[in-house]
Every structure is written in C-alpha cells, then in structure tokens.
Amino acid sequence: MLPVFRISRLRFGTDGKGITTLVGLFGCPNQCRYCINYSWFKIKPQNLCIHELYNLVAVDDIYFRITGGGITFGGGEPLLWPEQIIAFAQLVNKKWAINIETSLNVPWENVEKLIPYVDAFIVDIKDMNEDIYLAYTGESGAQVRKNIAQLAQLIPQKIVVRIPFIPEFNASEDIYRSRMAIENMGICSIDVFTYRKCSTEWEKQPQNRHKGNNINA
C-alpha cells in the first residue's frame, strides 16, 4: 500500500518531462523550517494499492504518452516507499515516465534499488554545508551527500538537482559552493530557486510544521 495524501494532475514543466501527475506520499525524515505542506498534518493519507493508484492516474494516460510524461512521486519523502514504487513501475511497464522528487535523506539501499525503474531523480539538496543542512532540516545531511555522490557516479544524466536560497539559513556564496560541489560530480542539470518562508505565526509553530510533504521544498 502507498500512503497517498495528494494527487495533482496535469502539471507541466515542474516535475519532470511532459505532462505529469504528482503523487504525494506521506512521511519524511526531515523537519524543514519552511515546509509548506504543514496542512497535510490534519489529513490522514489514503492507503492505496498500486492498482487503485493506477486506476486513478490512468485518466491522463493519453497526455502522458503524447508528451513523454508520467508519474512523479513526491512528498514527503517517496524514497521511504521503494518497494511499492517498484511494484507500481512494473505495473506501468515503461508506458509512462516515473520520476522521484526527493531529499535523498534515506539509506542508499532505498535509492539504489529504484535506479532501474526511474527516469529522473529530482533532488532538493537544501545545502551541501552540514551546518546549514542541520539548522534548516533538524537532521544531518551526511547521508544526502553520500547518496548524491553515488548516484552521480551511476546515472548523472538522470539527476536534476535543485539548490534553494533558504532565507535566513544560506546566502549566495553558500549556493555557489553547493553548485560547484554538484557540478564537480558531473551533474549538469541544476536549478537554483528561492524557498518561500512561512508567512503566518501558525506556520512557524514547530507542532504545525510537517515532517513530510512539501511539494515545493
């Protein structure tokens, strides 16, 4: 079963090639300061078997096929659910693209086993500096840095790295250093962008910050 909290259809240019459907999976090892999907805390995920999920997303089959798009698993952290995603990918059988939006803060085994089934790993790297990563996410980024280096050795052409400007946590020189580190791994597809800060007092309360689920962050 996959814990799905959100299905967002007909996306273009944000989560992989072509037209995609974003499937948000519940749970995340990080506790990012500006995770904007805090509202999902109040919503229980729907546990779907791969066939139920397939039937829901197949409504856009024609769009996926025409544009080379498909399904993007995001979150939360989709790499907490590698076996289920593999089963779904086998069901799809290369008819649609399968993309993963991830922080990569998971054991390497979770990443490695998905490599044959994934068309693009879209990695929100946060910052390559450990102090910044720890301050922003509440977790160490050591595993992330190991995973991105190993993934880059195997499939650099299938990786897109997003490097955010994180207000109050990093600066342009940090972003430059992260970018250099990523480029030196042989990854060419790099996207620099800015996180939206929490805008309300409610959002800033730790208990209201989600431990998973930020499609944008």
Q: Which residues bind ligand SF4 (CB under 6 A)?
A: 28, 30-32, 35, 75-77, 103, 137, 210, 212-214, 217
Q: How far apart are CA 16 and CA 116, in angstroms?
A: 17
Q: Would you state the structure tokens that stand for residue 5, as one six-digit string? A: 């909290």
Choice between 107 and 186, CB closer to ligand SF4:
107
Min separation Cβ 57 and ligand SF4, Å: 21
Min separation Cβ 179 and ligand SF4, Å: 19
Q: Report in angstroms the alpha-carbon separations of 31 from 84, 94, 172, 209, 214.
A: 24, 34, 23, 7, 10
Min separation Cβ 76 and ligand SF4, Å: 5
**Per-state percent for the chain, helix, strand, coil, to nearest 5:** 40, 25, 35
Choice between 21 and 105, CB closer to ligand SF4:
105
217: which DSSP letter? -
Min separation Cβ 105 and ligand SF4, Å: 7
Choice between 35 and 57, CB closer to ligand SF4:
35
8: which DSSP letter? E
Choice between 15 and 77, CB closer to ligand SF4:
77
